């Protein structure tokens, strides 16, 4: 098939809409549903991300995409019992690929609501069963087992978007995009990022373990497909906070740091022990948890409100308790798609347990940024690589 007609473009008024190949056949086939314009943007960006994550780490990879940026990305490492609980996969059989998606979806569950999924490997039934329980628009993968396909086809009343991609497809080295009737052309960003990309360590502390190199590679590959400006926090093989599309880098760092903090706070015993009313869906539980640990927690604890979410009135989760718990989050890796112009980014990252940093370098204030890292005994590598994505 050389082209595919779409229902409409970014918005219902943008018609006609299609995807097509100028030469050759489309590398994607729709097995179920009718993906839209934004769906396919998410699918194709997500596929590139997971393909590169697997190449860099050797592990199955998954990403949860929303509006052309990842909400989460991860590789298939085992989950702890706490992680299984906060990702709502307790008691489920978890293959490495299923673990990768549980991690990718669980990093920022609020943002992943209604996601488009990309998997690096053939989707197995264990992964499909996790996807079946979540609100999602569609999936792209290099293949599906028969059992997985049957599970996925039942989603959204049989209209779930299921796309298979030719994993051997290689795009043309030059890409184009039309804006306001004008065609832009550029070479594709073919930079190879892996755990060996962080040899130029500029801080006093130069101890960069292999686990941190993998986390930094995950951060930088994730940023390669995140709308800029962007910053990514990674811990234990998964992105735990992504700040995308901000005009100011410190706002990226704060946004991503806040998401990383929320991920860690969900693992506190006060959150783990929350008792929800019977029948409350996962999305509603996510919303209740998010408000409970936010500055709006008084709204949840108010008389007449908490009863709609919880069996018993939750204890107050004080800012002092939250800070004490956040101080236990350590060895976090941080990547930035462009240089840090000020040390304030490092100060904010330190509050979220960041120990390892990768960024291009090249700011007139590099000395200040390095000095701030040294103050906190961080390890920072200059990659010399900018990863803007628009």
Compute the chain's Rg from CA coordinates: 21
Domain that holds residue 66: 24-170
pLDDT in tens, 77-127: 999 999 999 999 999 999 999 999 999 999 999 999 999 999 999 999 999
CATH of the domain at 312: 1.10.287
Question: Does the pLDDT of residue 232 top 80, yes or no?
Answer: yes
CB 255 within 8 Å of CB 226: no
What's the CATH code of the domain at 371? 3.40.140.20
On whether residue 111 sits in a domain, the answer given is yes
> Which residue of the set 67, 153, 195, 270 is catalytic?
67
Question: Which single residue is written with the structure tokens 């996962």?
Answer: 282
| Range 264-296 burial, b when 16+ CB lie within 10 A, else e | bbbbbebbeebeeeeeeeeeebbbbbbbbbeee
pLDDT band at 305; cut points 50, 70, 90: confident
Residues 191, 109 share a domain: no
The predicted model gives 259-282 an average pLDDT of 94
Is 114 within 8 Å of 131 (Cβ atoms)? no
* Same domain, yes or no: 260 and 276: no
Q: Find the catalytic residue in 13, 168, 273, 390.
A: 390
Q: Is the pLDDT of residue 302 over 80?
A: no
Q: For all residues of the chain together, what is the average pLDDT?
A: 94
CA distance 285 to 306: 12
Burial class (CB in 10 A: 0-12, 13-18, 19+), 120: buried
Same domain, 34 and 154: yes
Q: Look at residue 203 and tell me if it is in a domain.
A: yes
Which residue out of 39, 161, 229, 345 is catalytically annotated?
Answer: 229
66 is catalytic: yes
Q: What is the pLDDT of residues 334-387, one digit of tens each?
A: 999 999 998 999 999 999 999 999 999 999 999 999 999 999 999 999 999 999
Asked, as a colleague might, if the bond just before 366 is cis with ω within 30 of 0, I would say: no
Task: Count up the domains in the chain and report the number.
Answer: 3
Judgement on whether residues 160 and 103 belong to the same structural domain of the protein: yes
Q: Considering the candidates 66, 235, 268, 297, report the single residue annotated as catalytic.
A: 66
Examine the residue annotation and report whether 229 is marked as an active-site residue of this protein: yes
């Amino acid at each position: 098939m050389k082209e595919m007609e779409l229902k409409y473009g970014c918005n219902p008024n943008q018609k006609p809409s299609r995807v097509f190949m100028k030469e050759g056949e489309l590398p994607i086939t729709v097995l179920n549903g009718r993906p839209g314009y934004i769906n396919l943007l998410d699918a194709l960006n997500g596929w590139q991300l997971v393909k590169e994550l697997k190449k860099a780490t050797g592990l199955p990879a998954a990403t949860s995409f929303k509006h052309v940026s990842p909400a989460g990305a991860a590789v298939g490492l085992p989950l702890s019992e706490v992680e299984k609980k906060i990702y709502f996969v307790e008691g489920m059989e978890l293959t490495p690929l299923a673990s990768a998606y549980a991690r990718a979806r669980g990093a920022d569950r609020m943002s992943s609501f209604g996601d488009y999924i990309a998997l690096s490997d053939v989707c197995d039934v264990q992964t499909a069963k996790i996807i079946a329980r979540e609100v999602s628009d569609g999936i792209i993968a290099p293949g599906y087992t028969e059992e997985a396909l049957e599970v996925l086809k039942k989603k959204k009343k049989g209209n779930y978007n299921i796309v298979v991609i030719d994993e051997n497809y290689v795009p043309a080295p030059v890409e184009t995009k039309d804006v306001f009737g004008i065609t832009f052309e550029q070479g594709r960003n073919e930079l190879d990022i892996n755990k060996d990309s962080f040899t130029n360590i500029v801080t006093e502390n130069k101890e960069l373990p292999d686990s941190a190199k993998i986390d930094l590679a995950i951060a930088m590959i994730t940023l390669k497909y995140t709308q800029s400006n962007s910053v990514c926090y990674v811990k234990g093989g998964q992105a735990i906070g992504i700040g995308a599309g901000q005009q100011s880098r410190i706002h990226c760092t704060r946004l991503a740091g806040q998401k990383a903090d929320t991920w860690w706070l969900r693992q506190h015993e006060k959150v783990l022990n929350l008792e929800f009313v019977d029948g409350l869906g996962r999305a509603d539980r996510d919303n209740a948890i998010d408000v409970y640990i936010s500055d709006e927690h008084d709204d949840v604890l108010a008389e007449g409100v908490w009863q709609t979410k919880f069996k018993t009135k939750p204890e107050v989760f004080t800012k002092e308790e939250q800070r004490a718990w956040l101080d236990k989050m350590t060895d976090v890796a941080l990547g930035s798609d462009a240089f840090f112009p000020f040390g304030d980014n490092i100060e904010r990252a330190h509050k979220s347990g960041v120990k390892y940093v990768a960024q291009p370098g090249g700011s007139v204030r590099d000395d200040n940024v390095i000095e701030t890292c040294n103050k906190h005994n961080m390890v920072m590598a200059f990659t010399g690589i900018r990863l803007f994505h628009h």
